[in-house]
Structure 1
Amino acid sequence: MTTAVAATRRVGYRRKTAPDDRKTRAMPERTEDTTARVPRTRTEDIRLQLADEIVRGELAPGTQLDEMGLATRFRVSRTPIREALRLLETSGLVELKPHRGCFVASLSAEKLEELFVAMAELEAVCAGLAAVNMTPDERKALEVLLDAMAEPMRAGDPQRYHELNERFHNAIYDGSHNGHLAGLTLATRIRLAPFRRAQFRTLGRLARSQEEHARIVDAILRGDRKGATDVMRAHIDTVRISFETYVHQR
């Protein structure tokens, strides 16, 4: 039995039925499948492809992204291209300039470092609050996500792992039960999402990430606020280092 499983059982509870209602069968509880694969739209495929090319440096800062040219390349109309570029602007990877077009944004190493530092602190606070505020159902759902991430980790599937990783971190933001903090954290993560996704391509990173997540879950299930804060901060710092390693390997 893993530590995380044991901890979950300690914080879990058993649903009781009314003693005078023995003839009535309790309806099974419906729980949302937080691990189900969600089909990607064509817009999302294009956004991810362009984001990867920007992060890898294949689309250099200042490069103009022509809607018609991209529509021809991806064999789609201009509508999904416009939507993909709008989403890329939200993450800070491109700039939409009126009457001029769309250009790959310049993001200095210093700015990227600032974002990672902010991300580490925000996520650390979320994890600490989640350790004391998460309900038993939320704790169980977090453990289910952790278990689900083991499959793409073993299969070496960084894209699927990234999808579940986003849900894992979202569950911790929500588990903080602080909407303002969760919003700030999510907004910062959106800016860093392409860089966080890229680091999963570093050799051995998926397995190490899974180990780090297990330590985070263990601290949260124990109700260890300081422990959860510390391990989450260390986790995000490792994400930054892994991304830097990925860039230097190219």
Structure 2
Amino acid sequence: MTTHSATLREQIEEMIAVGELKPGQHLDETELATRFGVSRTPIRETLIQLSSMGLVVIRPRRGAIVAELGPQQLVEMFEVMSELEATCGRLAARRMTPAEQQALLAAHQACQQALEAQEPDAYYYKNEVFHEAIYAGSHNQFLIEQTRALYRRLRPYRRLQLRVRNRLTNSYSEHDGVVKAILDGDGELAAQLLREHVMIQGQRFSDLMASLPQLAA
């Protein structure tokens, strides 16, 4: 993959993550080509890549749309996501190097600053770095790839979740417990806390469902 097409993919992926391109929205190749100053060929290739990641659905003779997730699909994906994160946490507690532990602490600190500034979007990006530090600490490449792929698929929804009332504060305090468990080498506790941190059920599911129209608005 050329650097240019990777950049293009990242830019369109980001537009989907932040809700600039909304679930169900038709993706016009000509419009995107004009927007990015490229021909339609790299746009088409990028949409195929995004479709293999599950972010875009290509329909025969009707073009591409941004993928939509129904409530049932969302619950199932978050259920798997929470187990993948739990496994990363369990392994990270056993395998993280001192340098990786420092990177985790630095990411945790950055989340605290974004929380204090009450900036959900800044927190969202710092939160990604925090979770990525845990994945890296698992030292299991296959697990890292699978977890990242699902994380990317759920990005728009994870981002939306952080806008729900009090979620930033709760998210940060949950991170705090995870960091302590990992630094203490307590894999089981780290796994349990990450599972609860990522899982959406009960009130959190209702809150996410209530805020979904914001994503599509």
Normalising by structure 2, we get a TM-score of 0.79
Give 1:29's aligned residue: none
Q: 1:117 to 1:77 in 2, by over 3 A?
A: same
- Aligned with 1:92: secondary structure? coil
- The answer to whether the 8 A contact 2:79-2:200 is kept is no
Which residue, 173, 178, 183 being the options, matches 1:216? 178
RMSD: 2.8
| Deviation, structure 1 residue 100 | 3.4
- The answer to whether the 8 A contact 1:65-1:101 is kept is yes
1:201 matched to 2:163? The reply is yes
Give 1:67's aligned residue: 29
Give 2:120's aligned residue: 158
Give 1:38's aligned residue: none
Compare the two structures and name the one with the higher helix fraction. Answer: 2
1:77 matched to 2:77? The reply is no
Give 1:145's aligned residue: 107
- Aligned with 2:199: secondary structure? helix
- Paired positions, count: 204
1:129 matched to 2:91? The reply is yes
After the TM superposition, which of the residue ranges 94-103 and 221-230 deviates more from structure 2?
A: 94-103
Post-superposition CA distance 1:111-142 (Å, at most 9, x none): 22111111111110110111111111111111
- Aligned with 2:139: secondary structure? coil
- The answer to whether the 8 A contact 2:90-2:186 is kept is yes
Letter in 1 for 2:14: L
- Aligned with 2:162: secondary structure? helix
Unaligned runs of 5+ residues in structure 2 are 1-6
| Deviation, structure 1 residue 47 | 3.7
Q: Distance in 1 between matches of 2:118 and 2:8?
A: 24
Structure number with greater Rg is: 1
- Aligned with 2:58: secondary structure? strand
1:232 matched to 2:194? The reply is yes
What is the percent sequence identity of the aligned residues? Answer: 41
Normalising by structure 1, we get a TM-score of 0.70
Letter in 2 for 1:102: A
1:188 matched to 2:150? The reply is yes
Give 2:66's aligned residue: 104
Q: Distance in 1 between matches of 2:99 and 2:47?
A: 38
Give 1:48's aligned residue: 14
Q: Distance in 2 between matches of 1:243 and 1:44?
A: 28
Letter in 2 for 1:182: I
Unaligned runs of 5+ residues in structure 1 are 1-40
After the TM superposition, which of the residue ranges 105-114 and 191-200 deviates more from structure 2?
A: 105-114
